[in-house]
Amino acid sequence: MVSTSLQAETLPAYHLRGLGLYELHADHILDAYQGAGRYLVPSGREAGFVYEVRVGSRPERHRCECTGVQHHGHCSHHVAAQRVARRSAVCDCCGVRQWWRDLREVHEDDGLLAWFAGDRLCKACVPGHRC
């Protein structure tokens, strides 16, 4: 008889460490965004030390300065940066990367002549404020 129970899939240790880095430092990682998919992610072991991590649209563009990537091809810093990248976007007005929750998508019925439907604006750039 075949068991139909589902077993929980366990995440690799580096992935769990990356989720921990995200939980502890998400706002700092977002604030230190360098542009062009480059994030500064704190080391999980050395206080005050950060790694530059690149999150690209294609896996071959992913980069991190840490030795984990050199030895294993993956690291916790990239997991944290990738999570920040997925939960944030750039404001189409001021160009500052913001959390999705802090952005407003423009719709056709908004009647905004300077913006197209689908553009994302942060709270500071919503009509009535200047860019």
Provide the pLDDT for residue 127.
64
Average pLDDT score over the chain: 86
Q: What is the pTM of this model?
A: 0.81
Share of the chain above pLDDT 90, in %: 54
Angle at alpha carbon of residue 88, lines to 83 and 94, rounded to 5°: 150
pLDDT at 128 over 60: no
Question: Mind listing the pLDDT tens digit for each residue in 9-56?
Answer: 788 999 999 999 999 999 999 999 999 999 999 998 888 899 999 998
